Amino acid sequence: MDGVSYQRFPKVKIRELKDEYAKFELRDTDASMANALRRVMIAEVPTIAIDLVEIEVNSSVLNDEFIAHRLGLIPLTSSRAMSMRFSRDCDACDGDGQCEYCSVEFHLRAKCMSDQTLDVTSKDLVSSDHTVQPVDVGGFENSDRGIIIVKLRRGQELKLRAIARKGIGKDHAKWSPAATVTFMYEPEIHINEEMMESLTLEEKQSFVDSSPTRVFDIDANTHQVVVVDREAYTYDDEVLKKAEAMGKPGLVEIYAKEDSFIFSVESTGAIKASELVLNAIEVLKHKLDAVTLSDDTVEADDQFGELGAHMRGG
Amino acid sequence: MGLKQEEILLSNNSINSNVGEIPIDKQKLAAPIKSALDKYQLVPEFLKVRGLVKQHLDSFNYFVNTGIKKIVCANDMIVSDVDPVFSSGLKMYAAPILVNIEYTQGSRGVKMRAEKNDLVIGRMPIMLRSCCCVLYGKDEAELARLGECPLDPGGYFIIKGTDKVMLIQEQLSKNRIIIDADKKGNINASVTSSSEATKSKTVIQMEKEKIYLLLNQFVKKIPIMVVMKAMGMESDQEVVQMLGRDPRYSALLLPSIEECAGINIYTQEQALQFLEAKLKRSMYADRASEKEGRALSILRVVFLANVPVRSDNFRPKCLYVAVMLRRMMDAILNKDAMDDKAKQVLRCHRSYLFKNSRSLRKHKRLCGEQASGAIWQLISLLFEDLFKTTITEVKRHIDTVLSKPSRSSALDPSLFLRTKEIITGGLERTLSTGNFDIKCFRMHRKGMTQVLARLSFIGTLGYMTKIQPQFEKSRKVSGPRALQPSQCYSLGVEDLELLSGEELHTPNSFLVILNGLILGKHRRPQHFAVALRKLRRAGKVGEFVSVFVNEKQLNKSVVVVYVGVRILVILKHICLRVVGMHIFWKLFDVELYLCADQLCVYIASDGGRVCRPLVIADKGISRIKEHHMKELLDGVRSFDDFLRHGLIEYLDVNEENNALIALYEGEATPDTTHIEIEPFTILGVCAGLIPYPHHNQSPRNTYQCAMGKQAMGNIAYNQLNRMDTLLYLLVHPQRPLLTTRTIELNATVAVMSYSGYDIEDAIVMNKSSLDRGFGRCIVMKRYSGVIQKYDNGASDRILRPQRTGVGSEKMQILDDDGIAAPGEIIRPDDVYINKQSPVITRGSRITSAEPLPDKVALSSDRNENPCIKILIRHTRRPEVGDKFSSRHGQKGVCGTIIQQEDFPFSERGICPDLIMDPHGFPSRMTVGKMIELLGGKAGVSCGRFHYGSAFGEPSGHADKVEAISETLIKHGFSYNGKDFLYSGSAAYALSFSLCPFLGS
C-alpha cells in the first residue's frame, strides 16, 4: 500500500449551463463520488424557506396549517444562504430564530374587495430583505403572477407574518434547492460492423426501430448503422434482445463506463444551477473536513492505524 | 373525489372511437359506414333522470304521499266498545303528521258530529331531498346559499344529529307463489301475502304424499281438501278439474282426498267445524268472527290475504289454491326437466344461477321472486304498527272516560291523540337504532339502518346503494363474496309501486297474472305480451311494467278476477282487441312477463322490482340512431323522450328472461331484442371506480369495493362547515390520471423490492414527497359539552379562565368567555371549556400533539340545554403504519419512510413517491392495476387523461394497452413501462429493469 496514491483528478466538462439548468460530464472518478455529489445537491445545500407563520386573519377556505405548508414550499432566492446562520446556532438571537442574521421576515396582507376571485400569490409576500424574495417564476407561460397561495372571494381576508430561515433538504424537502439531480453512466456502444453488414436493409431498419429512443440510425448514403446519440440509450436492453431475436447475438455490445457520468441538474430557482453544483462541492468539502482528523489526535493512530495517517494527508 | 359522477361521466364523451363493426346483414353492409352508435351519453342522462339514490327518495315520497294515507284510511275508525255510537274518523296529511278527526257521539238517539282539523299526532323524520324536504327542487345556487353541498345525494335521515341510511332490503316478492323444498325434501308452495290491511304467509306443503296447509292461526297443519271444502268447494271432482285433466295431477291429489274422506268431512259445515277445533286460542276474538265462526273469517282475511273476497265469494281463493297446487305438482313431476328448461337467455350472469339450481327452486324463481324491499314498505310497517298502537291507546282512554258513570263535559278525543308521543318516539328510536321491532307483524330485525359514514363521498354513495340480502343463512353455497346476479346491471335500483301480476291456468290458454292475482286467461300469450309491450313503448302503460310469458298450459276454466280496476280494464281491452286500443290513463309501473314452463303471463307492477333500461332492437337493429344521440347531445331530447318514443324500455329480471340482450350493437343477431346501453353499467358506484376491473381477479374487485369507501378525499362542498364527529379530509386531492370516475391521489409508483421494508404488502414512502404534501390529511374531531340543568335548580356554568395562578397554564387557549378560541394551538392537557358543575369543576381535555380548534358552535340540545361543540382540527402527514391502497384492492401499510436522496432514481431524474413490492402482483392477478400504471405513465408523458372504464375497450371508453404502449414509446419510454433505476444510496444500477409507473 505504501506510496501508492489513489488520488484521482476528476474533470468536469460543462455541456450546457442556464440559470436553472446545468448539464455536465464528470470524468475520472467513480460512482461513489458522483452519487455523493448528487445526494448533497438534493439534501444538503442550504436554502432559505419560510419556516414559521403567524396568522393574524385568515378567513379563506384553506385552513391555517394548509396555508403555512404552501408558504413553506415557495422557493425563495437564497444566494445568501451559504453565508447565513442556522437559527439553531445563531448567537445573536439565542437560537429563537428571529434576528437578521438567521431569519428574514415576510408579511402578507390580502383582502378581496371585488366580486372576482382574488389570487393571492407569492408576489404578495413582502420581504424585509431585498436579497431574499420569492423566486420569479416568469419565463413560463402566464405565470407572471407568481405562485398561487390561496384564492379569496369577496370579503375574505388573509393577513400573516412569516419568518424564513436557513435549512437543508434533509430536514424538510422545502429547503431542497434541487428539482432534479440525476446522472447516468455514459454508455459505450460498439457495433460489430462485420455482422451488421450481413443484415439486409430491412433488418437494419427494424433493428434501429427496436430501440424506444433514437440511439441508432441508418446512414442515408452508406446504409450503415451508426450510433447517433448514445446518451439516448436508456439501458433497456431492447436492442440486445432484438439482436438476439434476429439470431445475431453480439451484434452490438453496450457497456456502461464505470468512471464517466453525465449529470443533469435542475434547480428550483432558489439558487442558480451553477451555484447549486459549486455549493454542493463546498458542502462536501466541509463534510470531508469534519472527517479529516486533526494532527494532534495521537491516539487516533492507534485507533485508525494507516487509515488515520492517510486521513491526515499522509 | 368530490366530482359528481355525471359530470365525470360526461367528460368521457370526448372519446368516441369507432368500434370494429361486424356487418350483420345486407342492409347494414349497404349502409354508409356507420360506427356502432355511442349510446354512452344515455348513461349520464339516465342518472340525471333517476339518480343514484332515487330509489330512496321515490320510496319515501311514495310513503309520505300515498302509503301513510292508506294506512290511516285502513285504520280510520275508533269505535268505542263502551258506547258504540262514538266513533271518529281520521284523515292523514304529511309531516308533522296531521290528522283531521271527526267524531260522533250520541246520547239517547241524538247524534252530534264534531270536527277537528290538523291535529298533530306525531312527527315524521324527513328524508333529505325528498318531496317534504326543504332542499327539494332547489338548484345548485340555492343549495349553496343554504350551506348544503349540491352534490350531496340526499336519501338519508338525520336522527339525533347523525345521518342514518335505511338499507334496501332484499326480500321475497310479496303475493307470488314460490315453490321450494324444505330440508326433508318436502315440497312447499308458499305465498307471502300483503295487502293494506293484512299480511300473512300461507304455506301449502306436501308431506308423505298428502297435501297440507300451514297457517299460523291454526295449531296443526290442515289437510288441504278440508280447506277447499271449507271454502265451499265441496265436490272433489271440481277440485280435480281445477288442477287439470291430466291424470297425473289427480293421482297426486288422491291421497289428500282420501285423507279428507277418512276424517268424514264432506260438507262446508263439517270442514268449518274441523277448522274451528284447530284454531289457536287467542286472547281476544273479535265480534264479527264470533257470529259466523272464526275459521271462516280467518279463511277470508288471513288465508291468502292478497286474494280479496268480495261478498263471500271464495271462488278466487279456491282458484288460487288450485294454481298453487298445480305449481307444486309440476315441480314434483318435472324435477329433472326443470333444470334443462332454463334457457340461457342472458348470457352474462346465468352461470351462477345454474349452480344454485340444485334445489327445486327454479332459476327464474330465484332471481325473479326476489325484490328489493323498498324502504317505504319498512317505514310503513313501522308506522302502521305505531299508529295502531296509538289508536288502541286512544281507544282505551276513550273507553275509560266513557265508562265513567258521570261525565261532566263532552269528550274530546283530540286530547288523547295529542298527548301521545308514541309515533314520534317510535319512529325516531327505530331509525336511530336500526332495530325494527314491530309487534303486530312479529318482525324483529336488527341493523336496518346504518350510520352514513362521511369518510368519503364514494363511501356515502355506496351506503345509499347498498342492498342488504336476507338469505345469507340459507345460502351457504354461494359464499359471502358471490355476487347476486339478479342485481347486476341495475343502474339505480328502481322502486315501483303497488301491483304485481300473476297467473292462472287453462288448457291452451295462458293465465294472465297481475302482481299475484289471477286476472284471466289468454289464448295467444305472445300476442298479448307483444301488445302490452307495444303499449308500454308507446307510453300508454307505465314504463316499469314488465311482461313475462311463461309458455305452458294448465287448466281450462277461464276466470276473470278483479284486481286494481284500472288494470283490469286495460287487460280487458287487450284481450278483446289486441291492436289499436286506447287507454286513457297511465298505469303504475307495470311489468309483464310470460313464463315458459308455467303457461302464464305475468304482469308485474309492484314495488321493489329491480329494473334497468335497455335499448330496444328490432331484429337486431338498434332503434336508437345517430340522429337521436345528436339530439340528446344538443339537449333537444331527454332520457324521458327516449322512453316515451319507445327507443328504450325498462326490463325487470323476469322480463329479461324473455329477451335476448346483446352487449354491443355489433354482436346483435336478428334474434336480439335488446341492446345494452353500456356494458359498464353492470357495476355499481364503488366498483365503477376501478380502472380495468375486467382484467382483475374478481375478489380483488370485491375488496376494492369495500376499500374504496375508506378512501379519503373531499366529502362535500360544505365539508368545512360541517360539525361531524370525525372527518378526514385530504389536503391535496387529485383527479386520477387514469380516469374512470374519481378518486384521490396520483403517485409515482415504483414496483420493486427495496430495503426490505416493503415485504408483506408494505409500502416504502419518499420523505420529500411527504414534505411536499403527498397524502397529507386533515382530521376533524368534534367534542361537545352540555350545560346541564339539574333537578334541584342548579346548573352548570362556564367561567372566565384564570389568567394567573395554579392551573392557569392549562387555560391558555381559552377566550374570556371560557371556551377555547379557534386557531389556538392546543397542548396536551389543555382545557377546552371551563365548565363548573355543581359538584365538580371539569374541563374536557385531550392529549395529542398540536391540534387546534377549528370552530366553536353553540347550540342547544333537545332539552333546551345550551350545548357547546368544538371542532378540533389536526393536520396529519402519513406516518409509518398508515394504510394506503390503490384502486385494485391492493392495500398496504407504510413500512418505512426514506429520504429522497436514498430513493432510487432514473436517469431522467424521476424519483418515485412510493415503492411497492412486486410480489404483490403474481398471486393477486391484478392485471388491471398493471394497465392502470401503464396508462397513468402514458397519461403524464402525453398530458392527457386516460380512461379505464370497465369493458370499455371495444366501445372506446378505455384505452387499449397497445395504444398506451405506443404513447410511451413516443415519449422515449419502454413499451412495457419499465425504467432503469439507480440505487440512491450507492448509485449502483439496480440490476433488473424496474417499472416506475404512475397510478394512484
Alpha-carbon span B502 to B516, nearest angstrom: 4
pLDDT of residue B871: 73
pLDDT of residue B101: 58
State the nearest Cα–Cα gap between A64 and chain B, in angstroms: 8
Q: Do A238 and B986 touch (CB under 8 A)?
A: no
Report the candidate in B351, B345, B366, B353 with the shortest Cα–Cα distance to residue B655.
B345
State the nearest Cα–Cα gap between B774 and chain A, in angstroms: 12
Question: Which CATH homologous superfamily contains domain B777-876?
Answer: RNA polymerase II, Rpb2 subunit, wall domain (2.40.50.150)
Could you tell me if A57 lies within 8 Å of chain B, comparing CB atoms? no
Q: Do A235 and B989 touch (CB under 8 A)?
A: yes
Q: Do A234 and B974 touch (CB under 8 A)?
A: yes
List of chain B residues with pLDDT < 50: 1-37, 84-95, 106-109, 283-289, 336-373, 469-512, 550-598, 731, 735, 737-745, 840-849, 989-1000
Q: Which residue of B has its CA nearest to A183?
A: B907
C-beta separation of B952 from B680 below 8 A: yes
For chain A, counts of helices (H) and of strands (E): 8, 12
Question: E-strand spans in B157-249?
Answer: 157-159, 162-166, 168-172, 177-181, 187-194, 199-207, 210-214, 222-223
Q: Do A174 and B771 touch (CB under 8 A)?
A: yes
Q: Which residue of B has its CA nearest to A41?
A: B901
Q: Which residue of A has its CA nearest to B899?
A: A170
pLDDT of residue B917: 74
Q: Which residue of A has its CA nearest to B973?
A: A212
Question: Which CATH homologous superfamily contains domain B707-720+732-775+880-999?
Answer: DNA-directed RNA polymerase, subunit 2, domain 6 (2.40.270.10)
Could you tell me if A153 lies within 8 Å of chain B, comparing CB atoms? no
Could you tell me if A169 lies within 8 Å of chain B, comparing CB atoms? yes
Q: Do A184 and B907 touch (CB under 8 A)?
A: yes
Alpha-carbon span B211 to B259, nearest angstrom: 10
- Which residues are B842's β-sheet partners? B835
Alpha-carbon span B602 to B369, nearest angstrom: 12
Q: Which residue of B has its CA nearest to A34?
A: B987
Report DSSP letters for B116-169, one per residue: EEEEEEE-----TTSTTSTTTT--HHHHHHTT--TT-----EEETTEEEEEPEE
State the nearest Cα–Cα gap between A42 and chain B, in angstroms: 6
State the nearest Cα–Cα gap between A115 and chain B, in angstroms: 16
C-beta separation of B604 from B654 below 8 A: yes
The answer for B 760-819 residues in CB contact with A (under 8 A) is: 767-769, 771-773, 776, 778
Report the candidate in B915, B912, B913, B973 with the shortest Cα–Cα distance to residue B941.
B973
Q: Where are the domains of chain B?
A: 52-173+372-456, 177-333, 707-720+732-775+880-999, 777-876
What's phi and psi for B22, nearest 5 deg?
Answer: -95, 120
Alpha-carbon span B643 to B683, nearest angstrom: 22
Of B899, B905, B987, the CB nearest to A170: B899
- Inter-chain contacts counted by CB atoms under 8 A, chains A and B: 96
CB < 8 Å to A69, chain B: 731, 773, 776, 875
Report the candidate in B596, B213, B588 with the shortest Cα–Cα distance to residue B368.
B596
Could you tell me if B989 lies within 8 Å of chain A, comparing CB atoms? yes
Q: How would you classify the pairing of strands A225-227 and A216-218?
A: antiparallel
Alpha-carbon span A205 to A216, nearest angstrom: 9
pLDDT of residue B276: 78
List of chain A residues with pLDDT < 70: 1-5, 94-97, 138-144, 292-314
Of A38, A65, A176, the CB nearest to B875: A65
Report the candidate in B237, B220, B257, B51 with the shortest Cα–Cα distance to residue B152.
B51
C-beta separation of B695 from B927 below 8 A: yes
pLDDT of residue B539: 54
pLDDT of residue A7: 75
Could you tell me if A174 lies within 8 Å of chain B, comparing CB atoms? yes
Could you tell me if A193 lies within 8 Å of chain B, comparing CB atoms? no
**Domain B177-333, second-level architecture:** Alpha-Beta Complex (3.90)
